[in-house]
Amino acid sequence: MNPEEYRKMYELEDRYWYFQGRKDIIAGLLRQILPKDKRPLRVLDVGCGTGLMLGKLKSMGYDPVGVDLHSLSMQYCRKRGTQKLLQADVTHLPFINDSFDLILALDLIEHVQQDRALLKEFYRICAPGGRVLITVPAHPFLWSEHDEALHHYRRYRKKPFLQMLKDCGFAPLRYTYAISALYYPIVAFRLLQRLVKPNPRRPKTHLIELPNWLNALLIQLLRLEGAVLRRNDLPVGVTILSILQPKKTHSV
């Protein structure tokens, strides 16, 4: 991402509807799929950004490791009090086979040119019986300057992405759309944005400051969505969410 986008993310994450809503959705699903006995789990957040999810994992009783390519990510994560950090190329993760019981990759894979190589790395370092939770942006038709500002390579179609996950050795435990409550407003906004010619030299994300009441309402909508997601898959959304298990019973 552009350095300016890291700064913007850090300043907004603690209150902005998208980051807070996604965090609550992920946390609710993790409480559902992870062991209830709180035994120590080896947890990795790949593409940890500015550290919001690392903080949430800590509050849930885990001791996660954060990995990101950019030095700014390390700086902002340390500002949040996180110390177990590693700056590394995520397609060549410096961990031995079967290192982690849970791997998170939240809005990461679209940033990586060699997405299959990254998925194979997740397979390699995920322990037998472990879990990988991935979110990616859906629908190529929603491509906009938002994606360009974040240095995305692509948005994904649901069926081809599922096939790629299977080809890389994963069995899907959950596979669904998410960020569904706001699907139609986001589609309308992105289509309307195309009527306004963006600056090709300085594309910007669509992180728009909202009135406090509206921001709070959207957070509550996504929390409600999270409660639905814990029981049902959703038919539409701007994100694809998958919970995966590697199809292996021993070290690779």
Please identify every stretch of the chain with a pLDDT value under 70, giving residue numbers as ranges.
1-2, 38, 197-206, 250-252
Residue 146's pLDDT is what? 82
Pairing mode, if any, of strands 126-137 and 65-68?
unpaired
Residues in Cβ contact with 146 at an 8 Å cutoff, skipping those fewer than 6 apart: 190, 203, 204, 205, 206
> What amino acid is encoded at 21 in this protein?
G
β-pairing, 85-87 with 65-68? parallel
Going along the chain from its start, the domains and CATH numbers come out as: 3-246 (3.40.50.150)
Q: What is the pLDDT of residues 196-241, one digit of tens each?
A: 765 556 666 667 888 999 999 999 999 999 999 999 999 999 999 9
The predicted pLDDT at position 252 comes to: 45
pTM of the model: 0.93
